[in-house]
Each structure stands twice: as C-alpha cells, then as structure tokens.
Amino acid sequence: MEGYSPQRDRATMDDIRPPLKMERELMVGDGSQFGSPVGVAHGLLFVEGRRRLHALALDSGKEQWYFDMPGSFLSPAVAGNSVFVRAESGEDGYVFAVSADAGLKLWQFKFPHVGSSYDNVGGHVTSPVVAV
C-alpha cells in the first residue's frame, strides 16, 4: 500500500540500518513502465506488471500465479487471504479482491466515473487501505 500504513505516513518503526545490500533482483517478464509499491504476505511478493498482478515466491522468485487487470497502478494491500488492488485505465477505475493463495477474483467494483487519468482532472482511484 502506498504510504506504508493506513495513515500513509511513509514511516516504519522497524530498525533498518545502512548500509543496505541487494540480496536478489527479480524481473517481471513484461517490462512494464508502471510500478506501484509491492505487497509482501504469506511468503509471496505481490507486484505489478503490465496490466497484471503477479505473485512471486519470496524464497525462489518463481511466479506462483498472475491475474490480468483492466488497467495499471495496482498498489496491492493484503489482509487475511485477500489481496486488494486498484486498476485505472483512462476514465475507468476499479477495485478488486483477489485470493492470495491462488489469484482468483473474489469480487470487483467499477466506479461510475473517476475523471481522466490522462490530464489529471476529476480525480482517480487511489491505493486501497485495509484497516482492521
């Protein structure tokens, strides 16, 4: 989820000390120009590709499943066994719930009108937030 927490404060209480080093680089096969923040849960990395949500195993980097989307800017948020993502394309905006274990669509909501993502007029669908 963009902003780290439901408050979107972009802060963490985790003790992260430099210098940091890259342990692994994973390539998502379609070379998308879009890249939302990733989600991590259940041993999986949820990452955006070109109009696709990918689930990669953290231990091996192998793709476990993918889910085709009607747009970009996914910003996955995870709660329980559900991954919540947004998708935007032109004036269309959606929120989806997808099962984390198998990548199956649980439900979707299409907004009646979200404005234009091309000229930034009228707003857009922002990243989902899960508050429990």
pLDDT of res. 67: 95
Contact 93, 127 (CB under 8 A): no
Domain extent listing, the chain: 39-110
pLDDT of res. 37: 76
Report d(CA 34, CA 20) in Å as an integer.
Answer: 25
Which three-class secondary structure state does DSSP give residue 6? coil
pLDDT of res. 32: 56
pLDDT of res. 1: 45
Q: What is the mean pLDDT, run by run of 10 residues, along the chain of 132 residues?
A: 58 76 70 70 88 91 93 84 88 90 96 64 68 76
What residues contact 3, with CB distance under 8 A and at least 6 apart? 9, 10, 127
Which three-class secondary structure state does DSSP give residue 70? coil
Contact 124, 113 (CB under 8 A): no
Structure tokens at 98: 């997808």
CATH of domain 39-110: 2.40.10.480
Report d(CA 48, CA 99) in Å as an integer.
Answer: 16
pLDDT of res. 39: 83
Q: How far apart are the first and last CA of the chain?
A: 15
pLDDT of res. 20: 80
